[in-house]
Amino acid sequence: MSGKSKDIAIVLTKAILDHRIMPGAKLGERELSEIFNVSRIVIRQALVRLLEEGVVTIERNRGAFVIKPSLQDAQDVYDAASILEQGAIAQLSHRLSSSARASLRQHLEQQRQALRDRNNAVSDILGQQFHMLLVKLSQNRVIIDIYEQLSRKILLIRALYRAEFDYEHLLEDHERLVDLIEQRKFKQTQDLLHDHNRIVSNSYVLDEREQPARSLAEALAPYLADQHQKDAKVAWMADHKESRSSRAVPSKSGSTTSTTQGRGS
C-alpha cells in the first residue's frame, strides 16, 4: 500500500468522523481520483483500507459506501461490548490487585474533573477509556483484542450519530461500579454494567433527517487545502534540491528522491 493511499484513507476517515461525508454516502472511485489527483488504483487501495477498518462497505458493481449502522446495529455492538465487559468482571475475583484498584480510583477522579469543567468531549473519551480499563483488568489478551475492535466500531457510531448523555448519571454509575468491585460484589457489578450500557446505547438519536447535499469535492475541500499546502512545500523542497544537486530521481511511488539526501535506505 502506497503512502498516498494511506494519506487519502486518513483524510476520508476525518471527513466521515467530522460529519462532512454522511453515513451511507457513496465514495465514487473516479470522483475521488479526480479530487485527489491520483490513479483509481490508489483510491481503490485507500477504500480497501477503510473497508478493513469497518468504515465503508464495498458492494459488488456498485462501489464503496460509508457505513450506515442502524439503531439495531448500534445496539448489537453495545450488547457485544457489554457481554465482554461482564465476562472480564467475572474473571476479576482472583486477579484484582491493589494497583488496579488505585488506577480505577484515579481514573474516576479524572472523569470527575472533566465533569466539573463541563467538558463533554473529554467526558466522552474518558467514559470510554474507563470501560476499556475494566476489560483490561481481566488481563485476558483475547478478550482485550476483541474489545478493542468493538471500541473502534463504537467510536464510529459515536461520530456518526448524535447522543444525549447524562454525564453526571453515567459517572455516578462508574463510581458505583468501582465501589462494587472493591467490595468484590462481582455479580452486582455485572448487573449494573448491563443496565448502564443499555442506558448508553439507548441515548443515541439516530438522526435520519435529510442532510444538505454536498459533493465529495465540497466535503473534502478543507482537508485538501492542508494537503495542497504540504504538497506545495514538498514540491518546492524537491525543486530547491534539484537546483543545487545533479538530478532528482522520481521514486516508484511518485515522490521525488534527491541525490543530495546523502542517506541510503
Residues within the interface to Zn ion (CB under 5 A): 127
The rounded distance, in Å, linking the Cα atoms of 35 and 28 is 10
What's the min distance (Å) between Cβ of 128 and Zn ion?
8
The rounded distance, in Å, linking the Cα atoms of 225 and 237 is 18
Measured from the CB atom, the residue of 116 and 263 that comes closer to Zn ion is: 116
The rounded distance, in Å, linking the Cα atoms of 190 and 174 is 12
What's the min distance (Å) between Cβ of 174 and Zn ion?
6
Measured from the CB atom, the residue of 45 and 82 that comes closer to Zn ion is: 82
What's the min distance (Å) between Cβ of 47 and Zn ion?
33
Measured from the CB atom, the residue of 23 and 127 that comes closer to Zn ion is: 127
What's the min distance (Å) between Cβ of 114 and Zn ion?
13
Measured from the CB atom, the residue of 111 and 258 that comes closer to Zn ion is: 111
Tell me, what amino acid is at 69? Answer: P
The residue among 72, 57, 51, 61 whose CA lies nearest residue 24 is: 57
Q: What is the CA radius of gyration of the chain?
A: 23
* DSSP reduced 3-state for 153: helix
Measured from the CB atom, the residue of 69 and 127 that comes closer to Zn ion is: 127
Q: Are 56 and 64 in contact (CB under 8 A)?
A: yes
Measured from the CB atom, the residue of 8 and 134 that comes closer to Zn ion is: 134
What's the min distance (Å) between Cβ of 171 and Zn ion?
8
DSSP states of 218-247: HHHHHHHHHHHHHHHHHHHHHHHHHHHSS-
The residue among 95, 22, 31, 96 whose CA lies nearest residue 55 is: 22
3-state helix vs strand vs coil in the chain, percent to 5: 70, 10, 25
Measured from the CB atom, the residue of 130 and 223 that comes closer to Zn ion is: 130
What's the min distance (Å) between Cβ of 148 and Zn ion?
17
- DSSP letter at 109 equals H
What's the min distance (Å) between Cβ of 180 and Zn ion?
14
Q: Are 197 and 85 in contact (CB under 8 A)?
A: yes
